[in-house]
Structure formats: C-alpha cells, structure tokens
Amino acid sequence: MAPRWTDGRCARFLERHNSGLNFALLAVAYVLYLLAGAGIFSAVELPYERELRRELRAARDDFLGNNTCVSDARLEELLARALQANNYGVSVLTNDTERNWDFVSSLFFTSTVLTTTGYGHTVPLSDEGKAFCIFYSLFGIPVTLFFLSAVVQRIMVLVSVRPVSYFHRRWAISRSKLSVIHAACLAVLMIVLLLIIPALIFVKLEKDWNFLESLYFCFISLTTIGLGDYVPGETHSKDDNPHPQLYRLAITVYLLLGLICILVVLETCCELPQMRRLRQRFYKENIRDDQLNDVSDVMIDNISAIPSVSEQAASLRQDTPVSGSAANKKLR
C-alpha cells in the first residue's frame, strides 16, 4: 500500500507543478546551451587569437629592428592613440573624415541606435553628443519598438492572417497545417530575399568580402546583433564607390525593411498553434484559462469555415435560376 500511495502522491505533485518543472528544465537547458557555445567558440577562436598575437609581436619587433631611431615607448604611445581613435570610428589608414558624421552617415547611426543594432564603428566623440545619445535613445527605442510592432501587426494581417484564412475556406484544410506550411514558405522566401540575394550583392560591391562574410553581415545586422566587425563602405575609396552617401542610404533602407520582415516571420512562427501549446507548457497559467482559449480558437475556426449568408444566397441563385413565368405559374 505504501508504494501505491507514494506513487499517487508523486503523480499529483508532478501534475500540480508541471509548468514549474518544465521551466526549470528549460532554464537548465539554456544554461547548458550557453556553456556549450562558450566552449565551442573558445576551442575554435583561441588558436586564431594566439596566432594573430604572435604575428603582431613579430611585426612589431621587425619594425623596431629596422627603425632603431624609434623607441619602444614612442611606438607604444602611437599605437595606443591609433587604436583609441579607431574605436571612435576614425582610422589612420586611408581615413575619410567626411563620411563619419555627415547627414546620411548620421542617419545610418540613428537607425542602428534605435533598432539596437549598434555596430560600434561610429560613436559620439563629444560629451554633448554622448548626453544627447542617452536622451535620444531613452525615448527613441520605445517609440521604435512601438512603431515596429504596429507595422508588423498590419503586415501580419496581409501576409499571414488573410492568406491562411482564405486557403482554409477554399481548400477546407485545418488551420494548424496551413499555418505551418505558410510559415515555412514565408521563412524560405525571406531567407532568399533578405539573406542570399543581398549577400550576393555585397560580394560584388565589397571587394574584400566573400560570400560567407557577406551572409554573416546580413544575418548579424538583421538580427540586431551588430558586432561591427563588418561594416559596408568602410574600405571603399572614392574610385571604387563614387556615391558613398547613396550607398549608405540604401543600406539603411535595407536594414530597416529587412528588420521588419524578420519580425513578421518571427511573429508568424510564434503565433503557430503548435508554438502556443509549447509555450503553455512553460508559462504559469491557469489550466481552465488554457482550456477556454483552446475552445475559443476552435469556435473561431468553425465560424470562419461557415460561409456567410450572402455567399449562400449567391450560390443558391446561381444553382437554381427561376424565370418569371415559371414563378407566376407556381403562384397560380
């Protein structure tokens, strides 16, 4: 009797704390994912870092050996100054100061700040600029998020809700299956239009980038990671790019539109019925509320599948046409 009583108590405990246990497992899995990623990056990148450090030391020793008039301290001071300026977006190598803070470059900077991409290649130099950046971002980032959510909601109605509802009524296929198919097609289309094709374009425009680097830049930018190791137009000379401002403006438009499209795809995937049921396993919600939501979803699906009164009347008029004389005979 004791084992049965214990088993029943454990079953009731698991049923009562199911969402909490699922959330604990999710947290453990996420921490393990972080640790695994850190281990893989360390194993892959650490040898390259050591090799780069060795090459830099060798180049520095070779320079000091060939230029005995330059002291180690002076060279250290020059390199520190150059690296500090480079962190502020000013490079000593073929630097074009007119491209850093003109209007188009500033527009590109504000777009990366408000979308939280933040490449870090151009930053405010003055104290006034840093103070303004704080207040500008404090109000601009919430407004940007609100604007993006409004735009995504409107686009979702056009590219996700209406197509799924139309084919659901047209083909009488379950809404959940249609949603999965639609989300998969939309994701593939966005990958081709926002990642593959732009990466091929950047390969042609950026002479120092290969396809992987271009694809890497597109992905890092559209996901708002913005590491800043690859920024388009930074290595261009005036001969290679006679219209740098137009090029920077086109990239700004691409990043904003691409971010909106990425958010539409993510929102479409998150609104899948399968994803909703998966989220309910980790959220702390009342089971009765979940059941009511499921019932309401089923009712909405059934109501949407029923044709309207006008559609039924139109179909009846098309299927059973009656002439005026026949109608008079029936009345008589």
Here the CATH number for the domain that contains residue 121 is 1.10.287.70
Q: What interhelical angle do 103-114 and 244-270 show, nearest 10?
A: 20
Whether residue 19 lies inside any domain: the answer is no
Total domains in the fold of the chain? 1
Q: What is the pLDDT of residue 13?
A: 67
| Closest among 142, 146, 102 to 263, alpha carbons compared | 146
In order of 37, 214, 236, the CA distances from 41 in angstroms are 6, 20, 31
pLDDT (tens, 9 = 90+) of the chain, 332 residues, equals: 455 556 667 777 666 777 778 888 889 999 999 999 999 999 999 999 999 999 988 988 888 888 888 888 888 888 888 887 777 777 776 555 456 788 888 898 899 899 988 887 778 888 899 999 999 999 999 999 999 999 999 999 898 888 888 888 888 788 888 889 999 999 999 999 999 999 999 999 888 899 999 999 999 999 988 888 888 877 655 566 667 788 889 999 999 999 999 999 999 988 888 888 888 887 765 544 444 344 344 434 443 443 433 444 444 444 444 444 443 443 34
Is 319 domain-assigned?
no
Q: Could you tell me if residue 149 is inside a domain? A: yes
Which structural domain, as residue segments, surrounds residue 217? 101-282
Q: How far apart are CA 247 and CA 245, in angstroms?
A: 5
Q: Which of 164, 117, 151 is nearest to 264 (CA)?
A: 151
Closest CA to 104 of 243, 260, 209: 243
Q: Is residue 123 part of a domain?
A: yes
DSSP state at residue 195: I
Residue 271 lies in a domain: yes
- Cα gap 171→180, rounded to integer Å: 15
Q: Let me know if residue 147 belongs to a domain.
A: yes
Closest CA relative to residue 262, chosen from 181, 157, 189, 198:
189
Any domain includes 31: no
Residue 11 C-alpha from the chain's centroid? 41
CB 110 within 8 A of CB 217: no
23-37: string of b/e by CB count within 10 Å (b at 16+)? Answer: eeeeeeeeeeeeeee
Q: Considering the domain boundaries, does residue 27 fall inside one?
A: no
